[in-house]
Structure 1
Amino acid sequence: MSYVCNFLQPVILFLPILLIIISDSIAQAGTLTDNKNLQKWPFNNSVSAVLVFGDSTVDSGNNNYISTLSKCDFSPYGMDFLNHIPTGRFTNGRLVTDYIVSYMGIKDFVPPYLDPSLSLEELMTGVSFASGSSGFDPLTAQLSGVIPLEKQLEYFKEYKRKLENAIGKEKTKLLISKAAFIISAGTNDFVVSYFNTPFRRKNYKVSAYQQFLLQLVQQFVQGLTNEGARVIGVVGVPPFGCLPVVITINSGSALQPRQCVESYSAVAREYNLLLQHLLKTMQTHDTKLFYADIYNPLNDMIQNPAKYGECPKVFQFGFTN
């Protein structure tokens, strides 16, 4: 029996990204369905694949295949996944990206790219290059020994070469152009690399560090478009002032009531606004860039929990039997 009421939260969080992809795909659906060369491909008729980059919010198990302490291949992770098996996903069940591909009818889950057992069909319909504890800032991945975004881009290039060898360059080019790209990162950069270690704070004020990250976002997105990406969704950061680790570290006393650190969440809001502006300036006729808001849905859950029902068997200090 599952003791976690996880059924509502993923739906709310993945809905903005899903609507973005579907709305864009509907406009393009005719192109794929009219192409005779693609009729036998294992495709949803409007989106060829979902390709994912980022941190633990979208890592479906890549950290299982690298040497790092940032792993979750043990209980209670996976307690609500198929057969209750921990897969390396940093969650009790499915990731947002798993819900997306399932809802779109592409496949049930997004597998990790580093899984050596992946079939050609799995590769063709999308994989995750993401790595838990990573971020746009190279220092973030370095601190945890995980896969930086720059390396994830290199893995994507390697992925393309594998497809080209299997199905040819033209079909690979078309597949990539019809794929939906999702990028979810940034929280670890602020929470770990900036606020909780001295390295970046020595050289950057908060506003300067935000600009530093945005430059890295721009470079990464440009790297994807240079490789043929045409539909890219970039997820904003959550109210990370409400993360349990942030609250704990910034609590003055164990006797004081726990509450969100507003100054941190204010940084998140400002960064999200700057990110939205950046994506608008990067729009082109050939490339569609979308911002996916997770700050407001999560903040509403935190501030108004009663709206989202009760979690049976879950209390303030954890699970009950």
Structure 2
Amino acid sequence: MSSSTHQQSPSLLRYQLLYCLLAVLTLPVSGGRRSSEQQHSGVFNTSTTAILVFGDSTVDPGNNNFIPTVFRSDFPPYGRDFLNHEPTGRFTNGRLATDYIASYAGIKDLIPPYLDPNLEMKNLLTGVSFASAGSGFDPLTPAISNVIPLRKQLDYLKEYKKRVELGMGKDRAEAHIKKAAFVVSAGTNDFVLNYFLLPFRRQIYSVSSYQRFVIQLLMDFLQGLWEEGGRRIAVVGLPPIGCLPIVITLNLDKTMLTRGCVESYSAAARGFNQILKKELKSMQSKV
């Protein structure tokens, strides 16, 4: 599932908002697929100056190493296929999808965590990740895990911009940001670790109303990126969350003790993606 523009109107050229599921690089989702080149052509191209990343564990390269949380992956077996088998804080055995995207775009091989105190200006200029494993759009989600909320990640972007301005001047920094690619990947934890696992949100929201609640928070976040200069934005939809190992394990009683996908979870993700696609198209038409 993806939508992108082929012959874009002037307004869409100003605000290249791409709905993509990165199906080639992450978990597959239902619906049609496109090649990596087709998916990213509107956001990631030869004029891209930097990649700035926001979200959860799908795109966190190690920010959680620098905050007091149990949501960490700076130990084996994480990183077993990484350079020197190093567990960097990425929740994977190797590189993240955003690392591959940065390499594909010819920018850098790895997207570093913004909170790394050893970051040099050259690394800042080509892009960083503000993402935090365990986070989500719903403010309750990061509070559960004591990780970095999306709103705080937006604050870090503002701080990042000031640091870039010091390095290259305000006018050049503004132009630099406008040509940067912004990647937003979150939402899984809102449903898996929050809505379905804990009772609080289910007491207030039905699945459909919670989908719209999270979508509105997502759209508000995108508006915040726009106000900070973001013009090329990729939004990652939800994977089939009912097939995540943690979901299968926690729901064995509902699957007759067989390790199968939990359809109710995946259905919630599909519904979320359908609403998201419509909302992004609506946003495109208004800018």
TM tier, smaller:
0.7 to 0.9
Q: Residue 185 of structure 1 corresponds to which residue in structure 2?
A: 186
- In structure 2, the CA distance between the partners of 1:18 and 1:145, relative to structure 1 (3 Å rule), is farther
3-state DSSP of counterpart to 1:201: coil
Separation of aligned partners in 1, 2:259 and 2:195:
22
How far did 1:86 drift? 0.5
Q: 1:211-222 to 2 correspondence within 5 Å?
A: 211-222=212-223
How far did 1:23 drift? 3.9
Q: Residue 228 of structure 2 corresponds to which residue in structure 1?
A: 227
How far did 1:136 drift? 0.5
Q: Residue 21 of structure 1 corresponds to which residue in structure 2?
A: 40
Moved beyond 6 Å, runs of 4+:
none
How far did 1:46 drift? 1.1
Query: Does 2:271 match 1:259?
Result: no
Separation of aligned partners in 2, 1:113 and 1:78:
19
Separation of aligned partners in 1, 2:70 and 2:135:
13
Q: 1:77-88 to 2 correspondence within 5 Å?
A: 77-88=78-89
TM-score (norm 2): 0.86
What letter corresponds to residue 110 of structure 1 in structure 2?
A: I
Check the 8 A contact 2:43/2:233 in 1, yes or no.
no
Query: Does 2:283 match 1:271?
Result: no
Check the 8 A contact 1:18/1:100 in 2, yes or no.
no
Separation of aligned partners in 2, 1:96 and 1:57:
8
TM-score (norm 1): 0.77
Deviation by residue 1:48-77 (Cα, 9 ceiling, x = unmatched): 000000000000000000000000000000
Deviation by residue 1:231-289 (Cα, 9 ceiling, x = unmatched): 10000001001111111111128973211111111111010000000101111586xxx
What letter corresponds to residue 167 of structure 1 in structure 2?
A: M
Q: 1:84-233 to 2 correspondence within 5 Å?
A: 84-233=85-234
Q: 1:12-51 to 2 correspondence within 5 Å?
A: 12-13=24-25, 19-24=38-43, 45-51=46-52
Q: Which runs of 5+ in 2 are unaligned?
A: 1-21, 27-33
3-state DSSP of counterpart to 2:25: helix
- In structure 2, the CA distance between the partners of 1:18 and 1:71, relative to structure 1 (3 Å rule), is farther
3-state DSSP of counterpart to 1:214: helix
Q: Which runs of 5+ in 1 are unaligned?
A: 1-9, 27-44, 287-321
3-state DSSP of counterpart to 2:57: coil
Check the 8 A contact 2:185/2:235 in 1, yes or no.
yes
Q: Aligned residues, how many? A: 259
Separation of aligned partners in 1, 2:140 and 2:215:
15
Deviation by residue 1:186-243 (Cα, 9 ceiling, x = unmatched): 0000011100001111111111111110110111000000011001000000100111
Higher RCO by CA contacts (8 Å cutoff, separation 6 or greater) = 2
Check the 8 A contact 2:69/2:145 in 1, yes or no.
yes
How far did 1:20 drift? 3.4
Separation of aligned partners in 2, 1:74 and 1:47:
33
- In structure 2, the CA distance between the partners of 1:118 and 1:18, relative to structure 1 (3 Å rule), is farther
Q: If you compute each CA radius of gyration, which structure gives the higher value, 1 or 2? A: 1
Separation of aligned partners in 2, 1:63 and 1:197:
23
Counting helix residues as a fraction of each chain, which structure ranks higher? 1
What letter corresponds to residue 184 of structure 2 in structure 1?
A: I
Deviation by residue 1:158-203 (Cα, 9 ceiling, x = unmatched): 0001111121111111011001100000000001110000111111
Q: Residue 243 of structure 2 corresponds to which residue in structure 1?
A: 242
Separation of aligned partners in 1, 2:162 and 2:108:
22
Check the 8 A contact 1:181/1:229 in 2, yes or no.
yes
Check the 8 A contact 2:43/2:181 in 1, yes or no.
no
- In structure 2, the CA distance between the partners of 1:72 and 1:170, relative to structure 1 (3 Å rule), is same
Separation of aligned partners in 1, 2:251 and 2:182:
35
Check the 8 A contact 1:17/1:233 in 2, yes or no.
no
What letter corresponds to residue 195 of structure 1 in structure 2?
A: F
3-state DSSP of counterpart to 1:181: strand
- In structure 2, the CA distance between the partners of 1:46 and 1:205, relative to structure 1 (3 Å rule), is same
How far did 1:141 drift? 0.3
Q: Residue 53 of structure 1 corresponds to which residue in structure 2?
A: 54
Separation of aligned partners in 2, 1:122 and 1:248:
40
What letter corresponds to residue 261 of structure 2 in structure 1?
A: C
3-state DSSP of counterpart to 2:248: helix
3-state DSSP of counterpart to 1:12: coil
